[in-house]
Amino acid sequence: MEIAITGTGSYLPSVITKNEDFLDHNFLERDGTSIAYGNATIIEKFTAITGIVERRYAKEEHKTSDLGFLAAQKAIEDANIDKEAIDYIIFAHNFGDLSKGKTQGDTLPSLATRVKHLLQIKNTSCVAYDMIFGCPGWVEGVIQAKAFIASGMAQTCLVIGGETLSRIIDPNDRDSMIYADGAGATIVQKTKGEGKILSHASQTHANGEAYHLFFDKSYHPDSSPDTRYIKMYGRKVYEFACTHVPQAMKACLDKSEVEIDRIKKIFIHQANEKMDEAIIKRFYRLYKKTPPQDVMPMMIQETGNSSVATIPTLYDKVKRGELYGHSIEKGDIVIFASVGAGMNINAIVYQV
């Protein structure tokens, strides 16, 4: 018996916000002063580095738990299972349910409980809880699901990654253009020859790196100091990721005893196109190899960075043949890898 992903689903919101929609924003430096050049130049530089040209925002009536529910429905259908057979619902996010125009995240009850309610699961032994692990939360949720199943505590788990970052961004911060909304979901089960998790690895770097991503006030000097937004030291995040993620991926691959030439795809957190490209190049360089041209699927150009949702959404799209130029087949070896707030890193080597 193996432990595998037997169903996938995703939900990308329909509201599209393009880069030119930020031309009228009043972007400021951290100290509240004006940036030396105009928004057209800011956007041009942003596009060159991140690759993002548009992103998806949730409809006003949808919260993170709603997006997770919509993705979960598709994953359950794809796995062809009875929802009452789910033993655990693990919902990875960072800010809870955010209502447009309000300043507090809502995690009472947990988002996993809200999804269970929306799915109308009556089985009280189906345990629902949330995972707060930064952008790598979905990957960590899959690792925990595997542990539950391997220990005999569960047979079927629903793992969701969702976020509505558009409601927690500072409109005066140019980094606000990075963030987006979405949700992805997977069913993880004990199976007979239907794929398997070969190895996994997780790390938390908190000795000087813990606050590379953090919560803080707006850059606008007249804003309320009590209203907080997602913030990051972009250069530090970039350098941290490029230094540590390739090493963590190598540790995970070595543990699996799979040769690097067998890797069909690497599903890496869609954070920044240039950063992800650098991570993959450095990873292959550790084996004195050059990455194959099509090894790294990317959707960030059209979807932005939806945090924990990026990997399960990307995997679902490739699995369904909905991302041009990319496909996976039964028996292929892939890697899931992520990095984010904490600073947390994790990876899974998986046979489809």
Tens digits of residue pLDDT in 288-345: 999 999 999 999 999 999 999 999 999 999 999 999 999 999 999 999 999 999 999 9
Q: How far apart are CA 308 and CA 271, in angstroms?
A: 10
Q: What is the rounded distance in angstroms from the CA atom of residue 68 to the CA atom of residue 74?
A: 10
Domain ranges (residues) in the chain? 2-192, 198-351
Q: What pLDDT is attached to residue 119?
A: 98
**Cα–Cα distance for residue pair 255/69, rounded to 1 Å:** 34
| Whether the Cβ atoms of residue 300 and residue 52 lie closer than 8 Å to each other | yes
Phi first, then psi: what are they for 39, rounded to 5°?
A: -65, -30
Matching fold, domains 2-192 and 198-351: yes
Render pLDDT for 58-117 as a digit per residue (tens, 0 to 9).
999 999 999 999 999 999 999 999 999 999 999 999 999 998 877 788 999 999 999 999
Report how far residue 159's alpha carbon sits from residue 190's, in angstroms, rounded to the nearest whole number: 14
pLDDT computed for residue 103 by the predictor: 72
As a whole-number percent, the residues of the chain with pLDDT over 90 amount to: 92
**Secondary-structure percent of the chain, ordered helix, strand, coil, rounded to 5:** 35, 25, 40
What superfamily would CATH give domain 2-192?
Answer: Thiolase/Chalcone synthase (3.40.47.10)
Query: Superfamily for 198-351?
Result: Thiolase/Chalcone synthase (3.40.47.10)
